[in-house]
C-alpha cells in the first residue's frame, strides 16, 4: 500500500495505491467553513447536482450512463466535522483490469468531472424542472425522521442543547429556508462553492496514480487557491443541567441523557474517548449500561452511546416503558459514577483495547475507511491507524476516569410513550 499526495494550485490529491480491492474509489471534496454556508441551500445544490447535469439532464440519463460503465456508482453528500462542511461527489467503479474497454477509467473520470463542471445551468440559471422536483423531494423528506422515535428524540435533544450553534443544525436543512429558495440563488451557491471551497480529491485502488492524476488535470481546473484554516472542533458553551419531558405518539418511551465535554486533549479525543464509550455503553452485551439496564434489570432491549468528539458531546440512549424511566435513570447515573470513580475492571479494559484493535483491522478492510483515515489525518491531524495501534494499548483506568470527570450532564430528555387508553 503506497500513499502519495499531489499538490496543485487549486486542489490537492490524496492517493492510496493498493491491490486489496476489486473496486476503485474517487471522491471530490469541497470543504468550507460551515458558519459561512447556508446548509439548506448547500444540501439542495448537492442533491440537484447528483440528479441532473447539462450533458445528462435527468437522473434517468445519468443512471443509464452509469450502468453502461459497469454499474458505476455516483453519489453526492453533505457532511460536517467541527466547523468543516464537506460537499462531496464520488464514483465507485470496477477495477479497470476486470473490464475489456481500455478507456473505462478515462470515461469514468470524465463522467465525474462532467457532472461537477457542468451542472444543469441554462440561461444563467438552474433548470426549472429538476430544481422543482428536487426541492419538493427534500421538502417531503424533511419530516421523515419523525417516523423513527430514537432519531426524533436525538434531534429534539440537539435542538434543545445547541439552539443555533452549528452542532444543532440538521444537514438536510429546514423548511423555512428551503421554501423561498430560488434557482438563481442556487446558481450563485454553485459558483461560490467552486470559488471559495478548499478542494481535495481522494483516490484509492490498484491504479497508476500518476496517470490518474494526469487524467484528472485534463478534466478539472480550479483556479482559486484557498488557504483559510477551519477549526475541527466546535466548543459549545457548557449548559446547566435541565430535564425535559415531552408527549409522543409512539409505543415506546425514549430516554436520552446528553453530556458535554470540556477541555479535552488530543489523546483523550482519539484514544481515550473511544474506550470510554465502549466500557460505558458500546461493548455488545458486556458494557455497564447493558449490564445494569438490560442484563440485570430487564428494563430495555437496546441502549448505548452516540456522540461527537468534534462537537464535544455524547448521548446515552435507551427505549423502554415509561414506568421504568426512574429506575433506568438511577442505573445510568450509577454507571456514569463508576466511570468517574475509575471502577473499571483492568481485565475488561484489556478486552476492550483488544477489541478496538481488532475493529481497527476490520476498518483497514474497507476501501472508504482507509482513504478517509489518510485524508482526515492529513487535513485535521486525526489519529492514523498506526498511531491508534501504538497508543490504545497504553491507556490506563486512570486515564478513562480522568476523562469521565470532564463530562458534564447537560440534558435529560424523555419522549414519553402514548397513553395506552388513548388510541389504537
Partner 1 sequence: MKQIKLKKLEETIYMDKCENGLEIYVWVNKKVNTFKGTYVIKAGADDVIFTKNKKECTLPHGVAHYLEHIMCKNIDNTSLLGKFNELGSYSNAATYPDKTVYEFVGTENLKENLELLLDSIYQKKFIKEHIEGERGPILEESRMKKDNPSTLNYFEMNNSLFWKYPCRIIGLGTEEDIKKITEKDLETFYQTFYHPENSFVVVTGNVDPIEVIYTIKEKEKQKKYKKYLMPIRKKYKEPNKIVTNYKELYTNIEIPRVTLAIKVSMKNFKDIEEVLLLNIINLVLASNFGVTSLFKESILEKKLAVTLGSSAYIERDYLIIQIAAKTKYPEELLPILQEKIKNLELIEKDMKRKIKSEIANLVLSYEDPENVNDMLVYSLVRFGKIIENEKEILEKITMEEINNVFSKINLKEQIVLITKPRKKDEI
Residues 337 and 397: their CA atoms lie apart, in Å, by 14
According to CB under 8 A, which one of 4, 5, 22, 231 is a site residue for partner 1?
22
Contact 269, 309 (CB under 8 A): yes
Query: Closest separation between CB of residue 330 and partner 1, Å?
Result: 16
The region that residue 307 occupies, defined by phi over 0 for left and psi between -120 and 50 for alpha, beta otherwise, is left
Strand partners, 170: none
Residues 269 and 263: their CA atoms lie apart, in Å, by 10
* 144 DSSP 8-state letter: G
- Secondary structure of residue 71 in the 3-state scheme: coil
Judged by beta carbon, residue 242 or residue 366, the one nearer partner 1 is: 366
Residues 8 and 221: their CA atoms lie apart, in Å, by 10
* 159 scored as a contact of partner 1 (CB under 8 A): no
* 59 scored as a contact of partner 1 (CB under 8 A): yes
Judged by beta carbon, residue 264 or residue 329, the one nearer partner 1 is: 329
Query: Closest separation between CB of residue 287 and partner 1, Å?
Result: 9
| Cβ neighbours, 10 Å, residue 416 | 16
* 421 scored as a contact of partner 1 (CB under 8 A): no
Judged by beta carbon, residue 263 or residue 423, the one nearer partner 1 is: 423
Query: Closest separation between CB of residue 58 and partner 1, Å?
Result: 6
Which region among 39-47, 116-124, 248-256, 305-313 touches partner 1 (by CB under 8 A)?
248-256
Judged by beta carbon, residue 70 or residue 232, the one nearer partner 1 is: 70
* 295 scored as a contact of partner 1 (CB under 8 A): yes
Strand partners, 256: 317, 413
How many residues can be counted in the chain? Answer: 424
* 241 scored as a contact of partner 1 (CB under 8 A): no
According to CB under 8 A, which one of 75, 141, 188, 238 is a site residue for partner 1?
141
Residues 228 and 89: their CA atoms lie apart, in Å, by 22
CA 70 remoteness from chain centre: 28
According to CB under 8 A, which one of 129, 175, 214, 396 is a site residue for partner 1?
129
Residues 73 and 79: their CA atoms lie apart, in Å, by 19
Binding residues for partner 1, rule: CB under 8 A, are 19-23, 58-60, 63-64, 67-68, 70-71, 94, 98, 129, 133, 136-137, 140-141, 143-144, 146-149, 249-252, 283-286, 290, 294-295, 297-302, 319-321, 351, 354-355, 357-359, 361-362, 364-365, 418, 422-424
Amino acid at each position: 500500500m503506497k500513499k502519495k499526495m499531489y499538490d496543485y494550485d487549486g486542489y490537492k490529491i490524496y492517493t492510496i495505491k493498493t491491490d486489496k480491492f476489486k473496486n476503485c474509489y474517487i471522491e471530490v471534496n469541497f470543504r468550507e467553513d460551515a458558519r459561512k454556508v447556508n446548509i439548506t441551500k448547500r444540501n439542495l445544490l448537492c442533491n440537484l447536482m447528483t440528479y441532473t447535469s447539462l450533458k445528462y439532464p435527468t437522473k434517468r440519463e445519468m443512471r443509464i450512463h452509469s450502468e453502461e460503465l459497469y454499474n458505476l456508482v455516483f453519489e453526492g453528500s453533505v457532511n460536517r466535522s467541527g466547523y468543516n462542511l464537506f460537499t462531496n461527489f464520488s464514483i465507485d467503479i470496477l477495477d479497470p483490469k476486470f473490464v475489456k474497454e481500455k478507456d473505462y477509467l478515462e470515461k469514468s473520470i470524465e463522467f465525474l468531472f462532467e457532472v461537477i463542471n457542468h451542472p444543469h445551468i441554462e440561461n444563467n440559471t438552474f433548470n426549472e424542472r429538476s430544481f422543482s422536483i428536487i426541492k419538493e423531494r427534500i421538502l417531503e423528506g424533511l419530516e421523515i425522521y419523525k417516523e423513527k422515535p430514537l432519531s426524533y428524540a436525538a434531534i429534539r435533544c440537539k435542538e434543545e442543547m445547541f439552539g443555533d450553534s452549528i452542532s444543532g443544525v440538521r444537514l438536510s436543512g429546514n423548511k423555512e429556508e428551503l421554501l423561498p429558495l430560488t434557482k438563481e440563488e442556487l446558481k450563485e451557491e454553485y459558483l461560490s462553492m467552486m470559488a471559495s471551497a478548499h478542494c481535495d480529491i481522494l483516490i484509492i485502488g490498484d491504479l497508476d496514480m500518476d496517470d490518474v492524476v494526469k487524467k484528472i488535470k485534463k478534466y478539472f481546473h480550479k483556479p482559486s487557491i484557498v488557504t483559510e484554516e477551519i477549526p475541527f472542533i466546535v466548543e459549545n458553551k457548557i449548559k446547566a443541567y435541565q430535564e425535559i419531558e415531552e408527549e409522543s405518539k409512539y409505543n415506546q418511551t425514549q430516554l436520552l441523557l446528553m453530556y458535554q465535554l470540556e477541555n479535552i486533549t488530543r489523546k483523550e479525543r482519539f484514544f481515550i474517548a473511544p474506550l470510554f464509550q465502549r466500557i460505558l455503553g458500546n461493548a455488545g452485551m458486556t458494557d455497564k449500561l447493558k449490564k445494569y439496564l438490560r442484563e440485570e434489570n430487564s428494563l430495555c432491549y437496546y441502549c448505548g452511546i452516540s456522540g461527537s468528539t468534534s462537537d464535544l458531546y455524547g448521548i446515552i440512549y435507551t427505549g423502554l416503558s415509561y414506568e421504568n424511566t426512574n429506575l433506568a435513570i438511577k442505573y445510568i447515573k450509577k454507571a456514569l459514577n463508576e466511570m468517574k470513580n475509575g471502577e473499571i475492571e483492568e481485565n475488561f479494559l484489556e478486552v476492550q483495547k483488544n477489541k478496538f484493535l481488532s475493529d481497527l483491522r476490520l476498518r483497514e478492510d474497507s476501501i472508504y475507511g482507509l482513504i478517509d483515515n489518510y485524508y482526515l489525518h492529513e487535513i485535521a491531524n486525526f489519529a492514523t491507524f498506526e498511531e491508534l495501534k501504538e497508543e490504545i494499548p497504553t491507556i490506563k483506568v486512570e486515564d478513562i476516569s480522568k476523562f469521565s470527570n470532564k463530562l458534564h450532564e447537560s440534558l435529560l430528555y424523555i419522549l414519553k410513550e402514548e397513553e395506552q387508553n388513548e388510541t389504537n
